[in-house]
Structure 1
């Protein structure tokens, strides 16, 4: 702000060369104040408020130097107050009232201006103070909201850390115990263990999704360990985690793809799980070079939802929080591709394209 005022004073030398000495003094004071603001180590939050007092003094000097012409004083005085309102508490704005009024009125009195000109301070000062209080209130509200969001973010990070260290390990143990028990119980009771295993797997996937969100937020992307793997085997292994309904796989046995196996498996599990929850069988998984398609034969998805379906928390429900498809999009983009939803008759097809598919 002071750099701007000093620069404008220097530029005005072209229009008013007769006032060069006064313009140079004003420009020097403005630029000197700006230099102080840049170089001094302001260790306390309210310390830079002293610059405002210097600024009012420079405004008064400018008005006096130009014989009481206050054309530029009013706007810069309001601008100084606005700057202070963005950075300092309300008591500093109130404390500014005396130096601000003195910087405006004193040069007018010294240059013998008419009473109506001097009296303009009774309009300018309340307006400047009112504007400053409004700005300060809004800025304070925004700071409080930012602090609240930072606390929420810290809580979210702590929650995800808890999932990483305190939930995944017990879930793995529970899943292993249930699988051991399933081989020992009568077939008439096996359905209960199957249901428990499905829900345990769902909880594990949810924990993994939340951990992926944390990784993306922290690093900005997901790291891949890409390998050239047989597509048919990869799809078959991924579908082994989905036990709710039969899934038809249409994959060329000779196709090999250049992907991160664990991440690509996660894409298939998330898409098939979404099709099972929201669509109807048959569920068909088709993979050709560079294109994965998971189709259901349900009621489909409205066109208004398809465009934002892969956004974060776009389609949460009682069985999840809406992260699965967003994770799919992130994984597709990490593979150099994209994710989209295409209408079918009947149903919908979730399509993921990726690069570097190889035979």
Structure 2
């Protein structure tokens, strides 16, 4: 079994401990460097460095994931003790250890609630003052604690408030995402049962009818089948969000037939024409291509002006699908985010159509862009002629 990679960033007791370990390793290395400037206290500085490294080893190696959420706060308490030892080792000079005390407080603010920060105030103050008292520092130096400790606590409380705010926002977004996933999955699954019933009824009616009624029932059956495929597509697109991959069923198909079959789902009175080379063959997933083309054509009919022209041509190593309308076009400020999720919603939709188009184009190894025309706009989808496996 592969071991999980080392992770420094994140939340939870394991990440908190490792981040504290990094700070403590830095403190230990600085203690070793301090022997150069203060060779008279080499033995003390070595002791401080060893204490730092032992504490860092505990921070990195102890199974914090099995402990409580706030268990790594014990590292902070031990860290304050080592800071006090370091100050004493430097003969009561706190110029180097004071900033580490503030950093340790800031680390605690990233991972623990304010009551722990307030509880740290006594041991942190003792870690700062006791070495100064033991080394007989003047009253003015002792008074520096009245400046350092309020600053450390204030900085920590500000960080804690901001971190809590961000954490609450993340949890809220996670709940929204859970509801979104549940809603999409429920809709996609639950729509199949009534569709099966409707399809069965339509097929029975088709057997009992003739003439014009048969063609109408054929159209209804095609639309029913398309809704079923769209439900499957919703599930597939949900998998894109979760895993970043979409399984494609590619085939070598005649482009003209592919376009004409898809356009059968467009209402008969729509002014849509197709300009496709009869000799052109493409290697695509039929169902996904149908979703792409119908999304683009329906958008062109809804937001642009007729005629809508569909062309499919080969351009070097790419097959180029273009759906052009003759409407007012798209503002430059909107075009940049046009294919984003929920980017362009309206009373007629929520802005998912073009996002779906981009996801399906990307799954094929292609791209989706909007190109200005005079008048109108052309939605251009490219597909590689020699696609790599999805």
Instruction: State the alpha-carbon separation in 1 of the partners of residues 126 and 309 from structure 2.
Output: 80
Q: SS of 1:346's equivalent? A: coil
2:100 to 76, 89, 104: 76
Q: How many residues align?
A: 356
Q: List alignment gaps of at least 5 residues for structure 1.
A: none
2:381 match: 352
Looking at structure 1, the residues matched to 267 and 176 of structure 2 have their Cα atoms a distance apart, in angstroms, of: 37
TM-score, length-scaled by structure 2: 0.83
2:325 equivalent among 287, 290, 296: 296
1:170 aligns with 2:194: yes
Find the partner of 1:4 among 21, 26, 29: 26
Q: Deviations for 1:268-297, whole angstroms, at most 9, x for unmatched residues?
A: 111111111111111111111211111111
CA distance 1:204–1:323, change in 2 (3 Å): farther
**Rounded Cα–Cα distance in structure 2 between residues aligned with 1:342 and 1:201:** 32
Q: What's 1:22 paired with?
A: 44
Contact 2:35 2:41 in 1 (8 A): yes
The answer for the alignment partner of 1:101 in structure 2 is: 125
Aligned to 2:10: none
Q: After the TM superposition, which of the residue ranges 50-59 and 164-173 deviates more from structure 2?
A: 164-173
Superposed, which structure 2 residues align to 1:307-318 within 5 Å? 307-318=336-347
Structure 2 residue runs of 5 or longer lacking an equivalent are 1-22
By how many angstroms is 1:174 displaced? 3.4
8 Å contact kept, 1:212–1:327: no
Q: 1:83 offset after TM fit, Å? A: 1.0
Residue 310 of structure 2 corresponds to which residue in structure 1?
A: 285
Query: How big is the shift at 1:319?
Result: 2.3
RMSD: 2.8
Alignment of 1:252-331 (within 5 A): 252-289=277-314, 290-331=319-360
Instruction: Provide closer, same or farther for how the CA distance between residues 265 and 357 of structure 1 changes in structure 2, counting only shifts above 3 A.
Output: farther
Deviation sequence 1:187-245 (CA, Å, 0-9, x none): 89x99x99999997897687556434312111202221111111111111100111161
Contact 2:237 2:246 in 1 (8 A): no
Q: Deviations over 1:64-120 (max 9, x none)?
A: 112111111211111111111111121111111111111111111111111111111
Whether the 8 Å CA contact 1:206–1:320 is kept in 2: the answer is: no
2:90 corresponds to which of 60, 66, 72: 66
Alpha-carbon distance in structure 1 between the residues aligned to 2:356 and 2:97: 56
Name the SS for the 1:354 alignment partner. Answer: strand
Paired residues for 1:219-234 under 5 Å? 219-234=243-258
Which position in structure 2 is the counterpart of 1:114? 138
Alignment check: 8 A CA contact 1:209 1:323 kept = no
Question: 2: CA distance between counterparts of 1:131 and 1:357?
Answer: 58
1:121-177: CA deviations, max 9, x gaps? Answer: 112112211211111121122222221111111111111110121123324543664
Supply the distance in 2 between the matched residues of 1:160 and 1:317 (Cα, whole angstroms).
Answer: 20
1:327 deviates by 1.3
Matching of residue 51 in structure 1 with residue 75 in structure 2: yes
